[in-house]
Amino acid sequence: MIDIANTKIDFLKSRIITFIFSSILVVLSFGAFFVSGLNFGIDFKGGTLIEIETENEIEIAGLRDNLNSLSLGDVQVQEFGSKNNLLIRVEQQSGGDQIQQNVVEIVKTSLNSYLSSEVNFRRTEVVGPKVSGELIQSGAIAILAAVFAMLVYIWFRFEWQFSLGAVVALIHDVILTIGVFSITQLEFNLPIIAAILTIVGYSMNDTVVVYDRVRENLRKHRSKNIIDLLNLSINETLSRTIVTSVTTLLALLSLFIFGGEVIKGFTFAMIWGVVVGTYSSIFVAAPLLNYLDVKREWNTTSAVDSTR
């Protein structure tokens, strides 16, 4: 039986250390982003992706050489889940949208003649320069819009100090997620944007639960030292934070292990986001309130009263 009630952990004691830790991670993320950038998938970079399955194992190096001799520019070939499944990526061809269409035909013809066994084309995706440009733009706008919407919502429901603290934690989570994709060079594509948006939602969810309790305690213990009060609030919500994170991670791990290759990147981003989001709620969002001079005199009959 797990009972994490009545913990009295001093989370804020090490706040300087965790702030430095977070700052280092943020700086590392920025560094990785500017040094190696993101490994954009065809959604954002344009190009062609073909997933094939064959009956016999294929010697990848030979196939790669063969496809790279087609003068289609850089062609990447990698194993995808099993030895009989390969993912072939062809870079975007210069010369506009219409040209991209020829790539599929050229690669398919070449594969059929190079491989002796039957080739099963499981997936074909072609994204032209116009669409990839739009997708990258709308993805960036969506993330910014989500962060801004959270800022406004928390401002509306709490007050600006909370809103600022929550958004700093949120941006921290987004930067760290983009950072981990820069460092690992895992493919960054459209579903990853979806994952980041969900992380924004989830991290906010976690932060709101802690903040809600902070606000309640601000009312209840008017004379309590803010650091003690923040510690109390984090401890009081700790078992909920842990239980919800564990159930979410259990579901996500199951998806990561059994859900197939296609959504592995997406699930990885989500798992990372849940871990980072939970961490930031406790070690970034809540301690920040210490520095933001939160209002102590809450009107108990106001519209934001949670005990109404």
Partner 1 sequence: MIYFSNIKISSILLVIFIALMFAIPNFFSKDQLNSFPSFIPKQQVNLGLDLQGGSHLLLEVDTVEIIKERLENLNSDVRRVLKKNNIQYSNFKNTDDNLKFVVEEFPTEIQKEISELSISNSQNILQMGDQTNLVILREENEVSISFTDEFVKLAVSNAVAQSLEIVRRRIDELGTREPSIQRQGSSRIIIQLPGIDDPDRIKALLGQTAKLTFQLVDTSTNYDPLNPKKAPVGSEILPSDADDSFKYIVKKRVMVGGENLVDAQPGFDPQTNEPIVSFRFDRLGASKFGRVTQQNVGKPFAIILDDTVISAPVIREAILGGSGQISGGFDSDEANDLAILLRAGALPAPLIILEERSVGPDLGADSIEAGQYAAIIGFVAVILFMMFVYRYFGFLADIALIINLFMVLGILSLFQATLTLPGIAGIILTIGMAVDANVLIFERVKEEIRSGSKMINAVENGYKRALSTILDANITTLIAAIILFFMASGPVRGFSITLAIGIFTSVFTAFTFTRLLISIYAKSLKPSLVGMKIND
- The residues in 141-160 that bind partner 1, with binding defined as CB under 8 A, are 141-142, 145-146, 149-150, 153, 157
- List 21, 25, 40, 125, residue binding partner 1 (CB under 8 A): 125
Q: How many residues does the chain have?
A: 308
- Minimum CB distance to partner 1, residue 199 (Å): 8
Q: How far is CA 295 from CA 70, 92, 177, 232, 290, in A?
A: 67, 55, 32, 17, 11
Q: Does 234 bind partner 1 (CB under 8 A)?
A: no
Q: Under rule CB under 8 A, which residues in 91-110 are in contact with partner 1? A: 96-98, 100-101, 104-105
Which lies closer to partner 1 via its Cβ, residue 11 or residue 162? 162
| Residue 16 vs 251, nearer CB to partner 1 | 251
23 CB-near residues (< 8 Å, 6+ apart): none
Dihedral sign (CA 215, 217, 219, 221): negative
Q: Give the separation between CA 194 and CA 190, rounded to whole angstroms.
A: 7
219 close to 158: Cβ distance less than 8 angstroms: no
Of 5, 61, 113, 302, the one binding partner 1 (CB under 8 A) is: 5
Site mask, partner 1, residues 154-193, x = CB under 8 A? ---x--------------------------------xx-x
Binder among 110, 198, 217, 290 for partner 1 (CB under 8 A): 198
| CA-closest candidate to residue 289, choices 226, 195, 196, 208 | 226
For position 249 contacting partner 1 by CB under 8 A, the verdict is yes
| Long-range Cβ contacts of 144-153 (<8 Å, 24+ apart) | 146/197, 146/200, 146/201, 147/171, 147/174, 147/200, 150/200, 150/204
- Using CB under 8 A, which of 138, 184, 185, 300 touches partner 1? 138
Q: What is the largest CA-CA distance in the chain?
A: 80
Q: Does 201 engage in binding with partner 1 (CB under 8 A)?
A: yes
Q: Is 243 a binder of partner 1 (CB under 8 A)?
A: yes
Residue 75 as a binder of partner 1 (CB under 8 A): the answer is: no
* 263-to-178, 185, 199, 284, 289 alpha-carbon distances in Å: 17, 16, 16, 30, 37
Take residue 133 and report the two structure tokens written for it. Answer: 């440009």
By C-beta, is 34 or 308 nearer to partner 1? 308
> What is the total count of residues that contact partner 1 (CB under 8 A)?
79
Q: How buried is 102 (Cβ within 10 angstroms: 0-12 exposed, 13-18 middle, 19+ buried)?
A: middle
| 244 lies in the site for partner 1, by CB under 8 A | yes
Give the one residue of 72, 126, 284, 288 binding partner 1; rule: CB under 8 A.
Answer: 126
Q: Which residue has the tokens 């998806």?
A: 255
Which residues within the stretch 203-222 sit at the binding site for partner 1 (CB under 8 A)? 204-206, 208-209, 212-213
Residue 167 beta carbon to partner 1: minimum distance, rounded to whole angstroms: 12
The yes or no reply on residue 263 touching partner 1 (CB under 8 A) is yes
